[in-house]
Amino acid sequence: MRVLVAEDHERLARAVAAGLRRHGMTVDVALDGDTALDRLAVSRYDVLVLDRDLPGMHGDDICRTLATERSPSRILMLTAARSVQDRVEGLSLGADDYLPKPFDFAELVARVQALARRPGAPAPAILGYRDLSLDPARRTATRGGRPLALTHKEFAVLECLLAAGGRPVSAEELLQRVWDEATNPFTTTVKATINRLRAKLGDPPVIETIRESGYRIGGL
């Protein structure tokens, strides 16, 4: 899951990002509205955590823009305003959920996870291939009934490959979906993660390398 946190209070933004990463999410940060919109234009985010009162482009205008463009990104709007009318206004602009400040971090995580699971295009609750099964909600994966001890990145890569339904997924796409913007695009981290994942999945192999296309779940 990839998340953009758009929040102008840098300390809060970095703290939220760090906390979401501990829950296995890939997180980028924007400290103003213009930067947030630029990043939304070039990267695909599952969820946007959006402070309503951003400098530059206001959060309300970002909501309107994304609604007009029919962006697939779900929006969780944050604001210090707590009235019912404020919540109604935020939702009417195109936000999918609304959380007043100050908020409990556990609730923020739960709402981000719920928005990411909310269907745009229907997706199966459990992803699988033959004896391989992955539950995105519970963050568990098994093969042949055996639990797999995967890191956050390994789990996210496996989730991307299974969700692709047999379509090859390029290293560039995996890098964008699983790692944040600070990752060197020329790094070998994708290949290294795939190799570790293959070792943990065991035999017979299920991750195929498709020349000049990337990786896909297949075999058996």
Q: Where are the domains of the chain?
A: 2-117, 127-217
CATH of 127-217, picked from 3.40.50.300, 1.20.120.530, 2.70.180.20, 1.10.10.10, is 1.10.10.10
Angstrom distance (rounded) from CA 149 to CA 168: 24
Between residues 42 and 31, the one the model is more confident about? 31
Q: List all residues 6 or more positions away from 143 whose beta carbon is below 8 Å from its beta carbon.
A: 131, 132, 133, 201, 202
Whether 31 has a pLDDT exceeding 60, the answer reads yes
Beta bridge partners of 75: 48
CATH of 2-117, picked from 3.20.10.10, 3.40.50.2300, 3.40.50.150, 1.20.1250.20, is 3.40.50.2300
In the block, tokens 């033959």 appear at: 130
pLDDT at 175: 86
Whether 125 has a pLDDT exceeding 90, the answer reads no
The two structure tokens encoding residue 201: 């999945």
Q: List all residues 6 or more positions away from 82 whose beta carbon is below 8 Å from its beta carbon.
A: 100
Whether 132 has a pLDDT exceeding 70, the answer reads yes
CA within 13 Å, CB half, 69: 13
Backbone dihedral angles phi then psi of residue 119, each to the nearest 5 degrees? -70, 135
pLDDT one-digit tens code per residue, 142-167: 999 999 999 989 999 999 999 888 89
Q: Which strand ranges, in their side-by-side order, compose the sheet holding 74-79?
A: 26-30, 2-6, 47-51, 74-79, 97-100
Whether 6 has a pLDDT exceeding 90, the answer reads yes
Q: Which strand ranges, in their side-by-side order, compose the sheet holding 140-143?
A: 127-129, 132-135, 140-143, 146-147
